[in-house]
């Protein structure tokens, strides 16, 4: 009887020890898994921190053109490629912000405008077809009454990439009245002028608009130097 009790105790002891060993193994495995997960999390956070540190430097290198200080930019509405508006503003010195199709109206009263091309002027395109926001381009050279060279951005895709800068590319006035209301512009994928006649509002010059002087009408000198007797007699009863 005593031997049986001793055997049972020994069996229970071995069983408890076995369970404790298994529990310990499970705990070690869980700790290893948690350690791996924590290490992976630390590496991910470190990578994010490095990207955040590097981002301001990358933005600074392209701030002149890619980063616009307009209200649209403040709301995070810039595209990830170079737009025509900040580039035209940079090369022309004309300080107008907002979508290209708003430039012509914004220039009224602020800058001189006209229908004749001039070096340094901005050609303001109206929205047309898929160009819903319009376009602006700076005139780099006037060749003759029908041809100019333009500096602009985000017109032709080059090597499959948008937002590229093109300098001294040809634009031709194709309007019937030679008023630069319609132009064809060099399109790099075609290796020549594009086929579309793009509508143009006109040219915005870097000169500030001059105020129109206000003319004040002056009363004419009286015809008579002395008051007539008839006029005076009308007030005789009031004396």
Exposed, middle or buried, 65 (CB in 10 Å: 0-12/13-18/19+)?
A: middle
29 and 107: one domain? no
At 173, which CATH number? 3.90.1720.10
Question: Mean pLDDT, to the nearest integer, of 6-32?
Answer: 58
Question: Mean pLDDT, to the nearest integer, of 59-79?
Answer: 38
149 and 197: one domain? yes
194 and 90: one domain? yes
- Residue 217 within any structural domain of the chain: no
99 and 162: one domain? yes
| Per-residue pLDDT tens over the stretch 86-126 | 999 999 999 999 999 999 999 999 999 999 999 999 999 99
DSSP 188: G
Calculate the CA 170 to chain-centre distance. 24
What's the pTM? 0.57
How far apart CA 121 and CA 150 sit, in angstroms, is 10
41 and 90: one domain? no
User: What domain count does the chain have?
Assistant: 2
129 and 39: one domain? no
Q: Are 144 and 166 in contact (CB under 8 A)?
A: no
Residue 41 scores a pLDDT above 70:
no
- Residue 8 within any structural domain of the chain: yes
Whole-angstrom CA distances from 172 to 88, 115, 137 are: 19, 14, 13
How far apart CA 171 and CA 153 sit, in angstroms, is 14
């Amino acid at each position: 009887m005593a031997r049986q009790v001793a055997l049972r105790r020994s069996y229970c002891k071995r069983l408890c020890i076995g369970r404790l060993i298994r529990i310990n193994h499970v705990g070690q495995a869980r700790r290893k898994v948690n350690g791996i997960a924590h290490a992976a999390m630390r590496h991910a956070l470190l990578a994010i921190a490095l990207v955040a540190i590097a981002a301001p430097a990358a933005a600074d290198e392209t701030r002149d053109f890619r980063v616009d200080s307009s209200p649209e930019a403040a709301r995070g509405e810039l595209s990830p490629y170079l737009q025509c508006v900040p580039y035209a503003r940079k090369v022309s010195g004309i300080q107008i912000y907002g979508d290209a199709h708003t430039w012509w109206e914004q220039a009224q009263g602020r800058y001189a405008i006209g229908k004749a091309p001039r070096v340094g002027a901005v050609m303001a395109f109206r929205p047309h077809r898929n160009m819903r926001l319009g376009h602006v381009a700076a005139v780099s050279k006037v060749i003759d009454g029908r041809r100019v060279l333009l500096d602009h951005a985000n017109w032709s895709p080059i090597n499959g990439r948008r937002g590229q800068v093109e300098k001294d590319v040809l634009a031709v006035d194709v309007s019937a009245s030679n008023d630069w209301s319609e132009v064809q512009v060099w399109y790099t994928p075609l290796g020549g002028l594009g086929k579309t006649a793009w509508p143009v509002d006109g040219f915005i010059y870097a000169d500030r608009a001059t105020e129109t002087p206000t003319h004040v009408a002056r009363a004419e000198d009286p015809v008579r130097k002395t008051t007539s007797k008839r006029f005076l007699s009308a007030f005789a009863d009031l004396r």
